Structures are given as structure tokens and as C-alpha cells.
Chain A
Amino acid sequence: MTKTIKTNNEYIPFPIKILKKKNESADTFTLRLDWQVDHDPGQFIQVSIPGIGEAPISISSYSKKYLEISIRKVGNVTNALFNLKKGDTLLVRGPYGKGYPMDNLKGNNIIFIGGGCGVAPLKGAIEYVERKRKEFGDVILFIGYRSPGDILFSHKQKIWDDNFKVHLSVDTIPSKTCYSGNVGFITQTIEKEKITNENTVVFICGPPIMMEKSIKILKSKGFNNKQIFISAERLMYCAFGLCCHCMIQGKLTCLDGPVFRYDEVINFKTD
């Protein structure tokens, strides 16, 4: 074999500096990257630390100046990312995938339903709406976390309260915790709330059980499958449609998703 040196191909990541690291909760943190790149809310990037590996992470910001990713420590790569600090370098490639169709939704009302670290990809779309607030109608946020200690993005609370109608709820309060907000599954709040399907789209991201329950409630309130957008999570390696690990009944989550209109994926079952 002879060797030829090449500079670039689809698999090759490049280095990016960390501008800021912020701990959101005990196991979740946000990295602000010095990366100015066009993207749609809901898209993801591939983040890697050489020697540990690569992982797909959704973008949790919407800015021309930087790109943020919010990460929960659940695996080798995310644990290693947690140990990085401001000024460190990591490797990235992307952005990839189909995000939320923001441009087609001007003039509509939007409902965001997020659970746990599923709020992260929604945050990018919420920040998009913040930036272009006049282009959208009523915006409601339903956000649920396991416990007060799991609440993410508390620094955004004021901006969101000022601009949108926000419902935040935690499932349970551990003993000896000081918390005065709502308690109960966020789906119970959705059920109680008066919401109408008129000119309204819904973005849902969270644990499968929460997404399932939310969709059921929305349908009972008159929403149809075309008004609902979900974000799918799958194992991915290449992120450009070649490795096939993210395939769901022929659809590739990395190319056709991760954001899917619910009517496109209603028959996915357990695949």
C-alpha cells in the first residue's frame, strides 16, 4: 500500500475553542463555542474528543456570534466533554440534519413542549422566536423537569416570562428542597390548559413517554398530526446518511430528521 495525504473529507472534524462553560444542573452543562455558522434550530453537530470518540449533540442556541450545545453526562464522550473548560479546544463537524421549519411558520402560534434535556434542542428554536418575536403569534412554553435540581436554563426564565406564556413544572420535590413552583407532570398542565389548534404548531422534545402522552392530549384538543413536530433521538456515527445506524423504517434520522412532522413518522412503531 502507498499512502497519499489528503486534507479533508466528510468524516474529518476541525478544532473549535470553548468560549464559556456553564453548569446548568448537577449533570447538565452548556458549552458556548467560538463557531459562527449558519444553521436551523433543531439541527445537530458532531462533537468529538480524540481518543474518547464522537457524539451527536443538538444545538441549543440561535446566534450569529456563537453556537451553544447543552449536554447531559450520560456516556464516555459527554463525561469527557464535562471535564473541558473555557479556552479548551474540541473537534466538531456539521451542522447536520433537518431542523424546525421556522421560515414556513411566520404568523403562526407556537407551543413548545419540552422535558428534561429535551428542552435543549427546543431552546434553539425558542431563541429564534425571541429574536423575531413580531413574526409569530402567541407562544406557549410547557417545560417539565424531574425535580427542582434538574431545572435547566434558569437564566432564561425572565426573558421567556416577558415574551411568552411559560408553564414550568417539576415531577417531584425531594425532601428538604426549597421550591415554590408548580409540581406535577407537565402533561397534566397541558391537559388543564385551554389551548386551541387554530394556526398553531407544536414542537415536542423529551422522553418518549412524555412525547406520547403529549400527543394524545393534543389530539383530544383537536390538533392533527401535521401540526405536531417531534425530535427523534437515535444512535448515529457518520451523520450524513452513510452508516445507517439512525435508520427508522427507511428514514434516516440524520438527513430526514432529527425533526420530523408527526404524520411522517406516525407508523414508526418501535423501529
Chain B
Amino acid sequence: MDEFFYQIQKTDLSKFLNNIIQKNELYAPIKTDAIRFEKIESPEKIYLDTNADFPLKEFFFRDREKLFSFDKNKIKVEIEKPSKTRVFFGVRRCDLNAVKHQDFIFMEKHKDPYYSAQREDAILIGYHCKTAPSKYCFCGSMDLGDHYDLMFWEDESHYFVHVGTKKGENLINSSKELFSKTNIKLNEEHKKIDFTNRLKKKDISKLQDNPDWKKGVDKCISCAACTTLCPTCYCHEIKDEVTLSDLQKGERLREWSSCQLKSFTKVAGNHVFRENREERFKHRIYHQLQYFKERYNIEMCVGCGRCITHCPTEIDFVEIINEMKEK
């Protein structure tokens, strides 16, 4: 795609978003009791002061997905697809990269039709952070790329907009009168976000037995908020649910699960492999920072910091790792 930015006046943003609403469903961060992406009818409510508490994960890798319905041994596979194109506005760089990693695991590595049906037509419009929106952000330490249809950078009186895909370009073309081409090129400087280079030690392969893990483990209450709010965690379980009026009929469901819970490794006969909290706590961090990379050569964690911001006991695993002394 073209390296040159477009620009749009700030006062024209709502016109652009209203144009989108005409033909599509628009989702953007809204602040109520929490900040989350919701379908909106008018752009006024959009909240961009800080990142959303909930990532986009639930829209594509849904927390409860029907794999098929059954009637005794007869199986019917019906895959739901959104009837209108969904456009997501205001997605941060970390969350866009999280979508990239989920696209990789669900669409490239596996051909998951349930994820694809939700994801395929969706359009992602980014909103680039200038500085860390939370003191726990560490995206600057992670290996992030460009994964968006359009990306917005806020400036004094206007936004600079970069086109990432054909889909993004089409959106601009459908509101052509609002955008003008600039002669400024996208470069690495634009992608830098201040105060996010927090994780100093990314190779944790030799730290498995470090006693400092205890600092985090001792405060962990195994609530699973970290994995639930993580934009990249994709572990799930499968279960059957029957219709109460006819027990032969029902559905097989895929639901999010959490490695922080004992049940995650419980086998028949009630043996639990990761019985103690330390093993479970470390498993999450190692899957994010090491195991996924060993297997796929991609860092799974995107450094959004939600697992720390929303941890009820604020376990800052980044700080814990930084302070670890290697033998």
C-alpha cells in the first residue's frame, strides 16, 4: 500500500463515521461502567482517552461458539455470519496486533470456519497512541507490526490516516470529499509510543526456577481476569449442552477457558497436572513470551498490559521479570 498519509479535519471525523454507519455496523469504544467496543448509532459517544478495558477478541473468537447441533447422532453444522459488515473504529496498535496473532492461529495455522465467519468481512480502523495510555503498557518491548485497514494518528486540527489494505482504501474512497492526500510518508517514528518499552528481559528461558516468581504467585488469587481480558489468549474447552425438553437434542459448544484454573489440566480420575498456583501462573507467562514463539516464531503477547491493569492484586509480571537476577 501507498506510504503517503491522507489527512482529515477533526471536525469531519463524525461525517466520515456517519457515512460508515449508513452502510455498515460501526463499533467503537464507549465508556459506561467499563470501556468496551459497542455498536453505535452516532459517533458522539466514542471514547478515545484511553484504551478499552475489553479487547476485540470477543467479536471474532467468541466466548461461546456453537460448533454444531445434534439430534442423537445426527449432526447439523450451521455457521453464523454477521449480516452486515462490521467496522471497528479506535483500535489501538496492541489490539490490532492481537487480532493479527489470532488471525494467524485461527485462519492461517488452522482453518477455523467459526472464527473466519466473524472475522472475514470486518474492517479495522486503528487509532494510534502517542504515549502509553496506562502505566502498565509495554507494547514498545514487543515485536509489533502493521495490521489494519486504516490507521488514524491524531494531530492538532486533523488526523493523519494511513491506508493498510484495499478495504481501507475503499472506505476512504466512499468519503473522498473528506480526505486529502499529503506528501508525508509513514515511517518508523510514527509507530513509536512513548513510555512503553517496559519489559527489559524478553528471553525468560533460563528463569524457570527463579525464586522471584513467588512475588507474583503469592498475590495471585487464580481469578482468571488476566486470561479473560487478554486479547491473544485463545485456550478453550468443548462441552455439550442438551435441550431440556428433549435430551437427545443439543449443541456442542466451544467456550473460553483459563490456564489459571485447576480444572484446566484435570483428567479423568481427578488428577490435576498443574496443581499449584506457581505452575499455573508461570504457564501463562511462558506460553505468552516463550512457548508460542518457539513453535510459530511469533511473540504472542502484544504488551497491552490488561493482565496487569485489571489484575485485582495488580501483579506486575513485567516488573518481576525485569528485577530477576540470572544465575
Is A235 touching B267 in the complex (CB atoms < 8 A)? yes
Interface residues on A, range: 35 or more
A102 in contact (CB, < 8 A):
no
Complex Cα distance, B238 from A50, in Å, reads 12
Flag the segment in B50-58, B124-132, B137-145, B283-291 that touches A: B283-291
Flag the segment in A8-16, A103-111, A135-143 that touches B: A8-16
B295 in contact (CB, < 8 A):
yes
A2 in contact (CB, < 8 A):
yes
Task: Chain B residues near A55: list those with CB within 8 A.
Answer: 268
Complex Cα distance, B109 from A238, in Å, reads 14
B176 in contact (CB, < 8 A):
no
Interface residues on B, range: 35 or more
Q: How many A-B residue pairs have CB under 8 A?
A: 135
Complex Cα distance, B266 from A248, in Å, reads 13
Flag the segment in B14-22, B35-43, B92-100, B242-250 that touches A: B242-250
Instruction: Report the nearest B residue to A53, measured CB to CB.
Output: B240
Instruction: Report the nearest B residue to A50, measured CB to CB.
Output: B70
Task: Chain A residues near B254: list those with CB within 8 A.
Answer: 11
Is A8 touching B268 in the complex (CB atoms < 8 A)? no
A45 in contact (CB, < 8 A):
no
Task: Kindly provide the distance from the CB of B185 to the nearest chain A CB, expressed in whole angstroms.
Answer: 40
Complex Cα distance, B67 from A48, in Å, reads 14
Task: Chain B residues near A235: list those with CB within 8 A.
Answer: 264-267, 273
Complex Cα distance, B271 from A233, in Å, reads 10
Task: Chain B residues near A90: list those with CB within 8 A.
Answer: 73
Q: Interface readout for B64-96 with A: 1 if CB under 8 Å, 0 if not?
A: 000110101101111111110000000000000
Instruction: Report the nearest A residue to B118, measured CB to CB.
Output: A1
A177 in contact (CB, < 8 A):
no
Within 8 A of A (CB), among B96-146: 105-106, 109-113, 117
The answer to whether residues A9 and B77 also contact, given A242-B110, A243-B238 and a CB cut-off of 8 A, is yes
B63 in contact (CB, < 8 A):
no
A83 in contact (CB, < 8 A):
no
The answer to whether residues A1 and B82 also contact, given A11-B238, A250-B290, A270-B273 and a CB cut-off of 8 A, is yes
Within 8 A of A (CB), among B239-263: 239-240, 242, 247-248, 250, 252, 254, 257, 259
Task: Kindly provide the distance from the CB of A129 to the nearest chain B CB, expressed in whole angstroms.
Answer: 28
The answer to whether residues A244 and B81 also contact, given A233-B267, A234-B273 and a CB cut-off of 8 A, is no
Task: Kindly provide the distance from the CB of B321 to the nearest chain A CB, expressed in whole angstroms.
Answer: 17
B188 in contact (CB, < 8 A):
no
Is A9 touching B111 in the complex (CB atoms < 8 A)? yes
Is A12 touching B68 in the complex (CB atoms < 8 A)? yes
Task: Kindly provide the distance from the CB of B309 to the nearest chain A CB, expressed in whole angstroms.
Answer: 24
Within 8 A of B (CB), among A1-48: 1-13, 15, 48
- Would you give 28 A-B contacts (Cβ < 8 Å), ordered by A? A1-B81, A4-B78, A5-B76, A5-B77, A9-B77, A10-B112, A11-B252, A50-B75, A50-B240, A50-B252, A53-B239, A74-B269, A237-B236, A237-B237, A237-B238, A238-B238, A240-B110, A241-B109, A241-B110, A242-B105, A242-B106, A242-B234, A242-B236, A243-B236, A243-B237, A243-B238, A250-B294, A271-B283
Question: Which positions in A face B, CB cutoff 8 Å?
Answer: 1-13, 15, 48, 50-55, 72, 74-75, 78, 89-91, 233-235, 237-238, 240-245, 247-250, 270-271
| 3 closest Cβ pairs, A-B complex | A250-B291, A50-B70, A74-B268
